[in-house]
A and B are shown apart, each in its own frame.
Chain A
Amino acid sequence: MKQSLLAFLAMAIFSLLALSQQRAAMHYHSLIYGRDYEIAAMNMVSEQLAYIETLYFDEADTDSPPLTQRLETDDLSANMGLELGEISDLRSGPGATQMIGADDIDDYHLFSLSAVPYEFNNINYAFDLRIEVCYVDPLGAPAPPFPGQTAEEAARARCQSAKSLAKQVIVTINESLPETELTEAERQNSFRAQTNRTPIGVTISRVFSHAGLDFH
């Protein structure tokens, strides 16, 4: 009887040990999958910024010859976004996150797409894309986010209403979650329960100065 109880106890302890090791391995697997998603998301951000980098600094510069020095900010756009008459239709094919009518960088202000299919190294992902553009102090340095502040909030904190010769583009990409009737928090919790990881989100902000863009 004593032997049987001790053997049963040994088997129970071993089972717990094996399950904990399996759980650790599953956690590692989740980290690897999450890292792959993060790298794909960062690649999509860099691709989007590369598109935006080819545009003019402001609508007021589109008629200027290349290498025109700008010293004044009075004729810069007061409002960010597409100008009247510019179409927001997207290109087809590889440039499916580019707007055909965009000719300066602030045309992408409040640009957003959901469940954008993205192929990276022969694997298909789906991301939600959001872009914001604002004026920033060209001489100001970015402050690191304080505890509890997201990278997106820290980038927005740099924005100013006054016109300047520097614009900040904030690109945020989140892993696309299945569309359901649940709230955002419930969708995230459901995702965590199913995949054992948090949905991936990447925010990268970049400041474009007038001098850096007008080499057309």
Chain B
Amino acid sequence: MHVLLDHISSIMIAGVLFIAVFTMMQRNQQNAMEMQVNNMVSEQAYHFLNMMERDIENMLHPDQLDGIALDPTCTVSMDPSDTTLTRSFSFPSMEVFTDTSTGIPVDSVARVHLTYQLTPTLKKAIVNGVEKPLYKIDRIKQNEGVGGTAIDGTSGEIITNFSVTLFNEDGGVTPGACPEELGNTKVQFEAASEISFESADERVQKSRTNLNTTRYGATIYSPNR
């Protein structure tokens, strides 16, 4: 007992240092996990953008669908409560078929109608101190000659912002339906890469580093249109 009392000051200092080192190690572990999740979400968002770029590059004009049983609409719909948020972007396009169930020969190029639909989820994320709802962008496809639509790709439940802007050939912005002479299509989206350190019941995911947002975008010219 007298040993403890003689060395009580050093024991207290050692205890405080031990707690501080333990806290620092835990924070480092959390930061490392966030870095890893950030990289994974960035890669996921990048691949999704690549898919959208390819589809927009292959965009067709409605006149190129004469006689084809396919929805020809090309339009951008905005969210009524937030006019900077795009709810859906629909357009006819082309792709190489790999699905044998459609009856269309594999590896043939066929026309499709695509809708990139922003769908709300139950999740939220804190981005720069502000709570934002998380969405996902579904790629809804209608095949040529085949009725009905199906989800053929998704971004995952990581989207906090999605914006599509159509430019006509003079560089002016065209809201709503695609202009007759479409210039470029500008796509931007923001993905939140947070992980939760709270219980599984928590719906709000919190980041420790406040650097949890990935932003991607592209401006694409559709030569076929």
Contact = CB atoms under 8 A, between A and B. Distances in A.
B24 A43 contact: no
B219 A95 contact: no
B24 A10 contact: no
Given A17-B24, A32-B38, A43-B218, A54 B13 contact: no
Interface in A92-117: 93-95, 98
Nearest to B21: A14
Interface in B177-225: 183-184, 186, 188-190, 209, 211, 215-221, 223
Interface residues of B, number: 40
B215 A36 contact: yes
B35 to A, nearest CB: 7
A89 to B, nearest CB: 13
Interface in A193-216: 212, 215
Q: Is the interface of B mostly helix, strand, loop or mixed?
A: mixed
A6 B183 contact: no
Interface in A43-99: 43, 46-47, 50-51, 53-54, 91, 93-95, 98
Interface in A140-183: none
A54 B221 contact: yes
Interface in B110-158: none
B171 A51 contact: yes
B101 interface: no
Interface string B1-43: 0000001011001100100110010011001000100100000
B169 interface: yes
A120 B163 CA distance: 10
B173 interface: yes
B50 interface: no
A91 B171 contact: yes
A94 B165 contact: yes
Interface string A30-42: 0011001001100
Interface of B: 7, 9-10, 13-14, 17, 20-21, 24, 27-28, 31, 35, 38, 84, 161, 163, 165, 167, 169-173, 183-184, 186, 188-190, 209, 211, 215-221, 223
6 contacts: A10-B14, A14-B20, A39-B215, A91-B170, A95-B170, A121-B215
Interface of A: 3-4, 6-7, 10-11, 14, 17-18, 21, 25, 28-29, 32-33, 36, 39-40, 43, 46-47, 50-51, 53-54, 91, 93-95, 98, 120-123, 212, 215
Given A32-B211, A50-B220, A53-B223, 14 more contacts: A4-B9, A11-B17, A14-B20, A39-B215, A47-B184, A51-B184, A54-B169, A93-B171, A94-B167, A94-B173, A120-B188, A120-B217, A121-B161, A122-B84
